[in-house]
Amino acid sequence: MTTSAASWLPLSPGERAVAIEVLVRGPLSRSEIARRLNLSAGSLTRLTKPLIASGLLIEAAGPEEGTEARQGRPSQPLDIVAGSRNFIGFKITEDRVHGVVTTLRSDIVARHDRPLTTHDPAEVADLLREMTEKFAGTFPDPAGIGIGVGGRVEGRSVVVESAFLGWSDVPLAQLVEERTGLPVVVENDVAALVEAESWFGAGRGLDRFAVLTIGAGIGYGLVLGGSRVPSPEDGRDVGRRWMVNPQGPLTPDGERGSAVSLLTVPSVRYQVRAATGQDATYEEILGRAAAGDPVSARVVDEAARALGVLVAQIANFAMPQKILLAGEGVGLVDVAGRVVEETVLAHRHPLAGPVDLETKVSDFHDWARGAAVLAIQVLVLGSAGAGE
């Protein structure tokens, strides 16, 4: 049964908790749901009835373990109809918009990118409308739109500041809603990525989970108790003053010795260019370092040590069960992973447990998927579990 997203709202806190549990971890037997949420059988039945009636939950194929003998007939586990609704996610970069369509479980079923030739907010909103219409031609009646932006966002609607786009106080959600007629959620791109990985990715099922992103800037997000920790610092480049080596190089971005000055893709390229007088792509620099080029190897090793310090600091103070390293700069670990590992160990207590560090080379469609997950959380299940 396909229903409108609006028919799934509002959900009571108990109904929402059940829906989130099944969405993220399902299919689940009723007994497992009750155990996870500390509910009685009667309370669970009361909470699931409206969810099944609305079409948000269904009884999946396959009996619950041990129920047939006890009740004389099989009792089916509960699940989400993942393909019943589709969500659109956009990641806006300085020169391109990356778009995806996802299912209710955030599986990407379509991709479409367009060049961004202007930063005028109205024209950007027009472009998002065109891309939405293209997606809707194949996936009719999308339930909502999520938009990820590098910068500070307030109220999941207004881009307060985005250095990449030159924006200040842009009501992006309103502009896109007016053009598409769909509900729109706007969020800082790192926050959206953290939500997606916490619900459906590397942090699924973990109470304590951290994400560190390396690319044009440094991003950081933390999940505690299974929920993302919101911060006034979301959207600010935390790495500009995150000191890792006070004697480090001076670059155009970030304070001397900061994570930004040592670790970001532009800074790595700048350091090589300053030393050689020649420009090179990030991938070329990594390849040259692996081949033994002394200048590239020095810059890459410095970046790897900076990364090791960051990972150790996160592990020491946040004590996450896992740290996910994501972004277009994580190829650094493939070339200088040994340096990263040695630096982490040097900045941890000798008896400390090993750091579970997972790397994920993320393209911009992963960031767009993160925005779609925000739309899933807010537009289908309400704000609970979405970092608020």
Q: Write down the CATH number for the domain with range 203-361.
A: 3.30.420.40
* One-letter amino acid for residue 112 of the chain: H
What's the chain's average pLDDT?
A: 88
pLDDT tens profile 87-120:
999 999 999 999 999 999 999 999 999 999 999 9
Residue-wise pLDDT for 230-286, tens only, equals 877 665 666 567 888 888 887 887 788 888 999 999 999 999 999 999 999 999 999
More confident position, 226 or 342: 342
Per residue in 66-76, pLDDT (tens digit) is 444 444 444 68
**DSSP, res 347:** T
Q: What fold is seen in the domain 5-83?
A: Arc Repressor Mutant, subunit A (1.10.10)
Confidence of residue 214 (pLDDT cuts 50, 70, 90): very high
DSSP sequence for 320-377 = -SEEEEESTTTHHHHHHHHHHHHHHHHTS-TTPPPP-EEEE---HHHHHHHHHHHHII
Contact between residue 243 and residue 258 where contact means Cβ atoms under 8 Å apart: yes
Average pLDDT, integer, range 364-387: 77
Selected residue with higher pLDDT from 331 and 237 = 331
Reading the block at residue 273, the tokens are 């260019």
Q: What is the pLDDT of residue 236?
A: 61
Cα–Cα distance between 46 and 202 in angstroms, integer? 33
HSE-up (13 A, CA, CB side) for residue 24 = 28
Torsion sign across C-alpha atoms 80, 86, 90, 96: positive
Q: Which pLDDT score, from 0 to 100, does residue 380 have?
A: 64
**Cα 130 from chain centroid?**
25
Residue (of 167, 316, 225) closest to 175 by Cα position: 167
Q: Where do the structural domains in the chain lie, given as residue ranges?
A: 5-83, 86-195+366-381, 203-361
Lowest mean pLDDT among 21-25, 132-136, 322-326, 375-379: 375-379
- What are φ and ψ of residue 310, in 5° steps? -60, -45
Instruction: Please determine, looking at this structure, whether the domain spanning 86-195+366-381 carries the CATH number 2.40.50.100.
Output: no
Quick: pLDDT tens for 4-47: 444 455 778 898 889 888 988 889 999 999 999 999 999 999 99
Question: Crossing angle, helix 30-37 and helix 13-25, to 10 degrees?
Answer: 120
The pLDDT of 184-198, averaged and rounded, is: 93
Question: At residue 367, what is the residue type?
Answer: W
Q: pLDDT-based confidence at 351, cuts 50/70/90?
A: very high
How many angstroms separate the most distant Cα atoms in the chain?
Answer: 79
Instruction: List the end-to-end C-alpha distance of the chain, in Å, as a whole number.
Output: 30
List phi, psi (to 5°) of 357.
-110, 120
What are the structure tokens assigned to 56, written together? Answer: 């948000």
Q: Do domains 5-83 and 203-361 have the same CATH topology?
A: no
